[in-house]
């Protein structure tokens, strides 16, 4: 039986020992405790914290790296079990989503926002095609940015689950079809 995978997006700038690192490590641990492997960009920051949390809980860790894009990075973090190189940034995001059943998004910057938007657009298209939308859980810190405005209405916002606590993460993971 294949292990279901959850994508986890977050900042490469998250520092060890920071509250954001602890949150990312906890989300990785929770995912593994719920029987998920985690897939991330595989480098440092939140990606490493998620990987460490999942690994410490006995989970499988997948890192989708982009060595041609990030030449200064020396490879996947030490907790990655399986490194999947991708040729481009968009290819990297697509690969992470292809192997995953759902996505979680921690606080982050432009890269994390890009990952959220790609996953969100995938869910939107699936709903248009009358398929079950790709589940996306995002840290509640994204709520103000990802709110109804411009041409985004409440119907689009409802494709996102805003997560305010570890209990919310557990409930979100428990709702995903295996």
Tens digits of residue pLDDT in 30-72 = 999 999 999 999 999 999 999 999 999 999 999 999 988 887 7
SS3 8: strand
d(CA 82, CA 60): 8
Question: What does pTM read for this prediction?
Answer: 0.96
Query: Do the Cβ atoms of 166 and 30 come closer than 8 Å?
Result: yes
Give, in words, the CATH class of 5-174. Answer: alpha beta
| Phi-psi region at 78: left, alpha or beta (left = phi > 0; alpha = psi -120 to 50) | alpha
Please report how the helices 19-33 and 46-56 are oriented relative to each other, as an axis angle in degrees rounded to 10.
40
Tens digits of residue pLDDT in 19-36 = 999 999 999 999 999 999
Q: Where are the beta strands (DSSP E) in 26-127?
A: 37-40, 61-65, 82-85, 102-105
């Amino acid at each position: 039986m294949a292990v279901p995978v959850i994508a986890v997006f977050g900042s490469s700038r998250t520092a060890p020992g920071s509250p954001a690192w602890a949150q990312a490590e906890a989300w990785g641990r929770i995912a593994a405790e719920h029987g998920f492997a985690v897939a991330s960009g595989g480098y440092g920051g939140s990606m490493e914290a998620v990987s460490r949390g999942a690994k410490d809980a006995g989970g499988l860790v997948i890192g989708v790296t982009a060595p041609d894009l990030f030449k200064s990075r020396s490879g996947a973090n030490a907790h990655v079990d399986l490194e999947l190189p991708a040729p481009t940034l968009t290819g990297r995001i697509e690969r992470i989503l292809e192997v995953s059943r759902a996505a979680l998004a921690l606080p982050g910057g432009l890269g994390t926002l890009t990952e959220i938007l790609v996953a969100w657009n995938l869910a939107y298209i699936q709903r248009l095609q009358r398929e079950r939308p790709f589940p996306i859980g995002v840290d509640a810190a994204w709520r103000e940015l990802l709110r109804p405005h411009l041409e985004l209405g409440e119907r689009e916002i409802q494709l996102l689950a805003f997560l305010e606590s570890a209990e919310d993460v557990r409930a979100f993971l428990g709702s995903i079809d295996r």
